[in-house]
Amino acid sequence: MPSQKVLDEKKQIVAGLTEQLRNAVSGVFVDYCGLTVEQDTQLRNKLREAGVEYKVVKNTLTRLAADAVGFNELDPILNGPTALAVSMTDEVAPAKVIADFAKDNEKLEIKSGFLDGRVMSLDELKTLAATPNRDVLIAKIMGSLNAPVSKLVRTLQALVDNGVEPADIQKPAAEAPAEAPAEAPAEAAEAAAEAPAAQ
């Protein structure tokens, strides 16, 4: 029977994992069996560069932590060698780094993952991995917002360089064709009164 010290250590591990699963914006579970030490080191370095925490986890303890946060769907995948990659700030990074690494290292198998408190299917994880990360998305948005403003500035500068005044840019509004004024109601009434009554 395990000692009280061992039980306390396991409780601390479960509490730490529970907190991590609850606070992480996303995470990916993988089977790392078959990776060489060199490949494992490369993977850890890539994850660290992306701000992702990676560690090997014990299935029984991870199952307790997963159940505590409502990730019961993870039970079937928590067997065999399991490692967990989580991010507290970047929703895309764990899936992206793992998926990119798995392309060149077939021994690394994605088991499952989660995003914003919900367990994801493998298809959803693949879609997430194909999504640009936060920095790339922000750069694209800023570029698309900046492009029309830059074009406007260049156009205005070209006009100024060519000596065109802002007042000259506006075209005079085309005059609308004059319409015949509507017959006044009083005049219409008078004309009706003067008309001879039908016999």
What is the average pLDDT score of the chain? 82
The pLDDT confidence band at residue 4, using thresholds 50, 70 and 90, is confident
Are the CB atoms for 86 and 46 separated by under 8 Å? no
147-158 pLDDT per residue, tens: 677 777 777 677
pLDDT at 199 (0 to 100)? 46
Residue 172 one-letter amino acid: P
The predicted pLDDT at position 53 comes to 96
Q: Is the pLDDT of residue 198 over 50?
A: no
Top CATH class of 4-131 equals alpha beta
